[in-house]
């Protein structure tokens, strides 16, 4: 599948069966990134297809000063 890693917009072709496996292959911490397909945030157990195009976004949190 085509994976775009943001914010750098790095594109890669990755073979993974589900979101959890995708993050492991990319060596990204599962609690620190969101995987998005067609404007839908995916959970770790969602199956992925070779034809999918997904984006991986870092989770950003903050507070007021």
- Quick check: 41 pLDDT over 70? yes
Residue-level pLDDT at 64: 67
- Quick check: 21 pLDDT over 90? yes
DSSP-derived 3-state class of residue 6: coil
CA 25 to chain centre: 11
Put simply, whether the predicted model's pTM sits higher than 0.75 gets the answer: yes
User: Measured at the alpha carbon of residue 6, what is the angle toward residues 19 and 16, in degrees to the nearest 5?
Assistant: 25
Residue 36, judged by CB atoms within 10 A of its CB (0-12, 13-18, 19+), counts as: middle
DSSP-derived 3-state class of residue 45: coil
Residue-level pLDDT at 36: 98
């Amino acid at each position: 599948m085509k994976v775009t890693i943001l914010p750098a917009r790095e594109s890669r072709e990755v073979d993974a069966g589900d979101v959890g496996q995708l993050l492991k292959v990319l060596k990204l911490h599962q609690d620190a990134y969101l995987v998005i397909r067609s404007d839908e945030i995916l959970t770790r157990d969602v199956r992925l297809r070779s034809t999918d195009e997904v984006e991986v976004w870092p989770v950003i949190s903050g507070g007021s000063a």
